[in-house]
Structure 1
Amino acid sequence: MPFPPGDMVAALSRHLHFQSLEQALLDRHPEVAERVVFDDTNRLMHLKLTLSAGRSVALAQVRMGYGTVWCVMPPELDSEPSVWPLNTPGEVLVDALHAAASARITGEAVASPWRWDESEPSDMTELADLLDGRDLRVRRVVAGNRWSAIGPRHAAKLDIAGSDDGSFVEVEFPDAFVRVSLKSAIGWLVDVYVPEVEAWGRVDLAGHLWGTTSPAPGVPRTEASVAEIADVLGKGLKAWDLEVSVGPAEAAAPDWLEGLDVGLDGLDEDSSPVDGRRSLSPRELTDAVFDQLTSYGFGDVEEGDAETPIRSRTFHIEWHNRVKNLSTSEVQRLNGLAAAAGEYVPKRLIVLTTAGISRPAADFADTAKAFVFFVDRTTGRLMGLNSRAREAGWPDTDPATQAQEPW
């Protein structure tokens, strides 16, 4: 007897998987047994819980973008589905299906954490609940489940949050879009996108919590409770005294550089083209970098002089203009210089480089709590090269594409 073709084996496997999900749903939620339907008659095999008037909430595998995902689909065509990766445990999938259907049966909101497409309570779901209780519109929560559908069901796009984004909550205010992040290396961040200037800014959390600006981005998780973060957000945009990043090209030059024709230590003095594009002058480059460091939340950086263009009481800032990538030994050497630069306590290291960095060197930089940024000499823009520096950067979310309707 010939072995069945691959497509038949795959179909049988999917059928058996759905049968196991059906049984898990019946075992975990026997009170809805009469509403459970496993439909394998259509091309889109699905498990559903019937509601009323022919409506239902369904669980199915759906092609979205370049991948296939699990979707819990509400009956409303203009609502966004709940999206889960294919390796999600079966009990999580059937509990998500049950939570969505139960809310519609009872006429109540989907219970937390399921309403945020999360299977376990976390700092992020707790924060989302608190903000929702303040009548703020929570648009997205990312913690255990990093997969999200952007937009309504009939035109949903898959978005998978990167590890450097940490866990986060996205909130829509009347006059701004806000992302509250909790990142492994630097802690809490509150980033605000202001549509009027089409730019990101960062809330001085330490200043609002304790009245003292932090020298580095972020507030450690152990030093601020979820309720305290919610209280800061509740104050709103007008109370945050926001420093908005308007972009390197629009920043003004430092006063001490006006009229001077000097180069930065380690950087060329001319503005010769790079890949056919004009390289910024040292004055322009310094200004662009200074603007971004301050907007990121490096609270004690200040304008220096020709020899040390950007200074900090906490950080030793090294300008590194080389073709060769930074090695571990080079980062160790620079970290030693940073430690020795402190008058009473060792300074931490910030490296601004026009090259790259090896993976071991980046790992060492993280261990040393250093920040390593690539500097684009044609724009002055910074890009994090180690995880701590990447965490300090702006979200890559485009708020204009994030429009969603809550369940």
Structure 2
Amino acid sequence: MINKVSFKMNRFYISIFALIVANNVLSQHTVQPSNIKWYDIETAYELNKKKPLPIIIDVYTDWCSWCKFMMKTTFANKGIEDYINNNFYPVRFNAETLDTIKFKGKEYRNRKLGRKPTHDLATFLLDGKLSYPSIVYFDRSGKKTVVPGYKEPKDIEPALVYNVENLSKYVSLSEFTANFMYTYPAAFEKDHSIFKIPEIIKPDTLGVPNWLSPKRIDINNKKKRKPTIVFFYTNWCISCKVMEKTTFHNQNINQFISKNFNLIKIDAANQDTLTFLNKKYLSGGKNNPHQITQTLLQGNFQMPAVVFFDENGKQISKIKGYITVRNFMPLLNFFHEKKYQKISYNEYLKSFKYSGTTTNSPTN
């Protein structure tokens, strides 16, 4: 559960990176040498047990020129460097070290086979696909993601955010990367990489959401009232910006919501007094969640978050975490058809005719 203290910490640690990303100036801020605080893998694992953070492992070899170049460029980038230091346990691991290493209770060795002997831990980390450099991520849940090859600062950003904001249970890295590129297109248009996204994961962002002010929701007008969706975000939450751009701007999603729901977005750290459903909510103070955030999310401030209300202003459900287009459409239908009054969401999914895998479910 994310409390007020971690709400402040997340705001501090991530806001610097979010600002840099939003302005696409990462490549202009480079320091030499890299000031990333690298750990050995055993130390990082022990620290992670005491205070869980994602682990990022730079797997390299002494003869790999691209490994050295990435250390001098990407890992020497001021924005990348600060973000990694504040949000990860960073590890550098020589894939040909002769040291015996214990990791997650198992001992790994270099068997000294061949001209360039590979350490057993490198084989495990890279799933046997030995390519250098490679970046290995372990998120807070322990899920491993391997990203091979040299990466420029702009190319490593999506994977960093993906692991820090714990998105693996909501969306694949490839899909999130595509959505990230469409949210911050300038740098990716420059090298044409945005135009190479496979059609199957290319986002549709041509819809224009009709965001309403909270005070405009009138449940007393029986002829015009609709169910309401409240989207909570923060300026330091990068996945919030990506979800807004690619899920709410999807044309099918946008058309369905415009026809059947009121749509509101609220900055969870808003400093103004807000009126919603005839009630006034006050600011929570600088760097604290707003009173409406505390009331509707009930102390769990994971971002992004979506709260559903029926046409009478009764809160039906709240959903925490990133929601893709293919996961949002069945949710919208579930609440629009009022199926929640009779069956669970998981039961509803069994009969919902929609292509793709759904992973999100409402949290009451």
Q: Which structure: larger Rg? A: 1
The answer to which structure, 1 or 2, has the higher relative contact order (CA under 8 A, 6+ apart) is 2
Superposition TM-score, scaled by structure 1 size: 0.28
Q: Report which of the two has the higher share of helix.
A: 2
Q: Report which of the two has the higher share of strand.
A: 1
